[in-house]
Amino acid sequence: MTTPSHWQNASPGDLDHLLPEVWANDVEAAVAVAREAAPRWAATPLAARIEALRACQTAIHQHSEPLARRIAEETGKPLTEARGELGAVVAKFDLTIADAEQFIADRPVTDGPHPALVRTKPRGPAAVIAPFNFPIHLGHGAAVAYLLAGNPVLYKPSPHAAVTGAEYGALMAAHLPPGVLQIVQGWGETGHALCVHPDVRAVCFTGSIPVGTALARELAADYSKSLALELGGKNASLVCADADIAQASADIAAAGCLTAGQRCNATSLVFVHRSRLDDFLARLRADLALYRPGDPLAEATNLGPLISAAAVTRYRTLTALDVGDWLQRGRPLDQVDGKRGHYVEPAVVLCTDFDRLAASPLYREESFCPILTVVPFDTDAEAIRLHNHSPFGLSASIFTADADRFARIGNELRVGNLYQNLPTTFSPSTLPFGGHGLSGNGKPGSRGFIRFAAEEQAVQWREKVES
């Protein structure tokens, strides 16, 4: 199917409101510009790169509020969440600059047979394929790392967040040499062409499992190209017999409803000790009642719309499945606050037949909408088994008052991010962030990512011997 050369997004919170028109870019032309800019940017000293990125940081900080409003308008993310995203974007500069000073600087080696050092060299043009749910923050983290390591960046926003991406890119590019950061607009064909282009030497892709899997296979022959994959999760919270039910319920409700469940680390599975099941479900109903669909630009909104009509269709399909007792089936809403949009309510299903659940899309696929699936368990060992049955491995939370129990269970869970008495969505940029299994290839999408943005070179020499 031919993708459009230009398009116009409607706000998912107000379908009668159209955003500016967007035109797709020519990939070959963009890569040629990046290839020409690469030697000059690579030769720029790290201190000068840092100075340029500091200027970018100031510009983003000064425009944080209009960018946050654009995110809310174009993606449906509640304004309060969008402001939080911009705060993380600004902070990411500081964290990544600190990483650059640690990992990009030359490192002397004194314990070998000859004087030596390890230095880094840029990989070359890097492609960043950004998602709609964190339209700036997720792609920005990789982009800043690649830039500080000396690579020009080809940044492709999600087509559902194209205007947001263009505005972010304009602010950044104004403080960088020509061609060092380009926004490349387009749909799947454009992203694919960028990733497989032989002159693109690093790729950071955030998106779906089928596309990420296909990319990994296609790029396997070009094995020197760096590929970082963040492909989502089927994240679980384990509520143990000794858990603080009030805290667990509040955190799980938030982790299931933030960004309308459209987060890679959103909670979608909840394993609850059978002795606490009734108390937990009663509390969860009350907590979910606090999340009411609303206009994403309204200050009080904590549950915005889904991104598209296709996302609403997926929600309808999942909530129609016969997998258990739907305690709160949820429903799409034609209008909210007088505006047509892709609004849905939170949903909860209790599943006592795990085998039936495990065979359904509600378990095997990332939901990316506010649906919580609750499964009872009797022993910690059973909870571990149920959790590890999933092919995903991004985030998990364990709610328990016992530090030893947390350590014991957590040591058995196959995830990249593990939390005690915190929501699965609590992922600060001060830590690495990556998943295993279907969730990705483990390369951290946050702290430390710069290690994948450059190549190491080992240098040694023979000392002059005095005659």
Active-site residue (options: 264, 351, 366, 369): 264
Q: Is 343 exposed, middle or buried (0-12, 13-18, 19+ CB in 10 A)?
A: buried
DSSP states of 131-180:
-SSSTTHHHHHHHHHHHHTT--EEEE--GGGHHHHHHHHHHHHTTS-TTS
The helix/strand count (H/E) of the chain reads as 15, 19
Q: What is the DSSP letter of 359?
A: T
Q: Say if CB 81 and CB 294 are below 8 A apart.
A: no
State residue 19 phi and psi, 5-degree precision: -90, 170
Element (H, E) at 107: strand 107-109
Q: Any catalytic annotation for residue 230? A: yes
Rounded to whole angstroms, how far apart are CA atoms 93 and 88?
9
Question: How many other CB atoms sit within 10 Å of the CB of residue 464?
Answer: 6
Rounded to whole angstroms, how far apart are CA atoms 303 and 430?
26
Element (H, E) at 383: helix 380-388
Rounded to whole angstroms, how far apart are CA atoms 213 and 218?
9
Q: Classify strands 454-460 and 395-399 as parallel, antiparallel or unpaired.
A: unpaired
Residue located via tokens 């985030």: 395
Rounded to whole angstroms, how far apart are CA atoms 298 and 416?
35
Q: Give the angle subtended at the CA of 362 by the CAs of 356 and 365, to the nearest 5°.
A: 120
3-state helix, strand, coil in the chain (%, to 5): 40, 20, 35
Active-site residue (options: 74, 230, 345, 366): 230
State how far the alpha carbon of 54 is from the alpha carbons of 50, 137, 173, 279, 454, in Å: 6, 16, 13, 50, 20
Q: Any catalytic annotation for residue 51? A: no
Q: What tokens were used for 456?
A: 């190491």
Rounded to whole angstroms, how far apart are CA atoms 407 and 419?
10
Active-site annotation, residues:
230, 264
